[in-house]
A and B are shown apart, each in its own frame.
Chain A
Amino acid sequence: AQSVTQLDSQVPVFEEAPVELRCNYSSSVSVYLFWYVQYPNQGLQLLLKYLSGSTLVESINGFEAEFNKSQTSFHLRKPSVHISDTAEYFCAPPQGGSEKLVFGKGTKLTVNP
């Protein structure tokens, strides 16, 4: 079965600093990779996803993630974070051949002024 490891449960950073949120997944099944974000008191929303093609995918708010097949990783990065990026981030590949999302435990990103 698919499993997902998010290596950091909490990541505190200062505003305008770079950040990397790490995600490793089991190599068994999924060919697609997703990152979802949960802002305080809001529902989950898709941040970005890798389906095929270029291994580097970008979101509209400056995040990017790189699919690395050999390391079975899909780390999320942003070169300069804002206070508004404070949220919980979930790596969530779908289990192969289905729409069942397999969520990691999440990484709480806190951006301090």
Chain B
Amino acid sequence: ETGVTQSPTHLIKTRGQQVTLRCSSQSGHNTVSWYQQALGQGPQFIFQYYREEENGRGNFPPRFSGLQFPNYSSELNVNALELDDSALYLCASSWGRGRGEETQYFGPGTRLLVL
């Protein structure tokens, strides 16, 4: 059974640029959630995708967008990067029924630095 994988592991961008982060969910999982973890903070929920549809969004501006593909892998896109977007971006997959009891399995994260 393959776990959750993310790419790239590290990324450096400059302000105003755009970035795409990728996530492959664990085999058999149909739900992907994205979180942002700033230094010294707990992860903050960005959004979730269930069977290719957005299924909830946190307090993040529209320049944070995402996609889920038929194979349940996912992308997180961030436009017009700002310095405060520097963080560890975590992807988590689960077999989602939407009631909250499911365990989410996290990838190792992508560390983004915006200069």
Partner-B contacts on A (CB < 8 A): 4, 30-32, 36, 42-46, 49, 51, 90, 92, 94-106
Contact = CB atoms under 8 A, between A and B. Distances in A.
B72 to A, nearest CB: 14
A63 to B, nearest CB: 16
Interface in B72-115: 90, 92, 94, 96, 98-109
Interface string B18-59: 000000000000010101000011111100100000001010
Contacts of A94: 100-101
A76 to B, nearest CB: 15
A105 B103 CA distance: 20
Most chain A beta-carbon neighbours within 10 Å: one of B40, B43, B48, B108:
B43
Contacts of A101: 33, 35, 43, 45, 92, 104
Most chain B beta-carbon neighbours within 10 Å: one of A42, A43, A46, A105:
A43
A96 B100 contact: yes
B43 A51 contact: no
A100 B101 contact: no
Contacts of A105: 40-42
Given A44-B90, A106-B42, A99 B106 contact: no
19 contacts: A4-B42, A32-B101, A45-B106, A49-B103, A94-B100, A94-B101, A97-B99, A98-B48, A98-B98, A98-B100, A99-B31, A99-B48, A101-B35, A101-B92, A101-B104, A102-B45, A103-B42, A105-B42, A106-B41
A110 to B, nearest CB: 15
B106 A97 contact: no
A45 B102 CA distance: 13
A84 to B, nearest CB: 19
